[in-house]
Chain A
Amino acid sequence: MLTPSGRRARAQDDDVDLLARLRAGDEEAFIVLVERHHDAMVRLARSFVASGAVAEEVVQETWLAVLRGLDGFAGRSSFKSWLLAILVNRARSTGVREHRSIAVGDAGPAVEGSRFDVTGAWMSPPVHWIEDSEDRMLADAMAGRTHSALEDLSPRQREVVLLRDVEGLSTREVCDVLEITEGNQRVLLHRGRSYLRQALETEFGVV
């Protein structure tokens, strides 16, 4: 099995290879590249714009901008982070952020204060839920819950969690794509991940 970084390294090689082929007029190379990044692009765009249809439009506009600006890709960053940075710029100029009703605030504790005693020690400790078997169905249900909980996050938190934990970008790449500071990125990531953990504990914790 490839490690995540191994998988990424190969994806990067393939991207560069596909870019060379599509420059030479290879239509299938372009489609393979589009397919590889499509979900990530739609998910990220969806965080900025009001509908799935608009998100798809942003993705198409991004690919056109990518083709026209191919010579601007110097290969200093990964193709994926270059691509997603273009997407974010287009999505920002297109999008009015959707107002979600239950967005999790960017400030606030990782765990409810009421779960600790006055000394700051656990009073209501984490309830065990980590899967201890190879139960595929349970793992799928947990992943499903994680992804529905992503919808509750504020757009800023969701964007950071998507890029770091779903797409596997590095801290540096996330900061470049979203144009935020590393400190800001860490706060958003912390809050987002903490919320997702709590959602899993609430649903799958066995007392």
Chain B
Amino acid sequence: MFWRKDELVCQQVVELVSDYLEDALPRSERRRFERHLAGCEHCAEYLEQMRATIALTGRLTPEDLTPMMREDFTALYRGWLSERD
């Protein structure tokens, strides 16, 4: 395969993915990145996998406080109220 000198290769693309998603690429670099993606299904897949990874990372579900923790924090709050007044 013939690469134009100013075109990105896959190995460079995977290092720029985060900056791309963070919108931190200079405009010319961003254009080169998108040009590469348009013609490379593997890098397009890679970008989608990074997006999916970020979404999965965000799926942590909060747990409720245990009754004991609730007591501790209530005591902490009451202590603060009394030192304030």
**Cα of A119 to Cα of B13 in the assembled complex, Å:** 13
**Cα of A120 to Cα of B13 in the assembled complex, Å:** 10
- Tell me the count of chain A residues lying within 8 A, CB to CB, of chain B: 54
Using Cβ atoms and an 8 Å threshold, which residues of chain B touch A116? 9-11
Q: Is the interface of B mostly helix, strand, loop or mixed?
A: helix
Answer yes or no: A200 CB below 8 A from chain B CBs: yes
**Cα of A131 to Cα of B65 in the assembled complex, Å:** 32
Residue of B nearest to A188 (CB): B18
Q: Is the interface of A mostly helix, strand, loop or mixed?
A: helix
Judge whether A196 and B53 touch: CB under 8 Å: yes
**Cα of A76 to Cα of B3 in the assembled complex, Å:** 49
> Interface residue tally of chain B, by bracket?
35 or more
Judge whether A31 and B76 touch: CB under 8 Å: no
Judge whether B49 and A129 touch: CB under 8 Å: yes
Answer yes or no: A27 CB below 8 A from chain B CBs: yes
Given A166-B57, A200-B53, verify A64-B15 contact (CB < 8 Å): no
Answer yes or no: B34 CB below 8 A from chain A CBs: no
**Cα of A165 to Cα of B53 in the assembled complex, Å:** 9
Most chain-A CB neighbours within 10 Å: which of B10, B57, B60, B80?
B57
Answer yes or no: A121 CB below 8 A from chain B CBs: yes
Which B residues have a C-beta under 8 Å from some C-beta of A? Answer: 1, 3, 9-12, 14-15, 17-19, 22, 24, 40, 42-43, 45-46, 48-50, 52-54, 56-60, 62-65, 69-70, 72-74, 76-78, 80-81
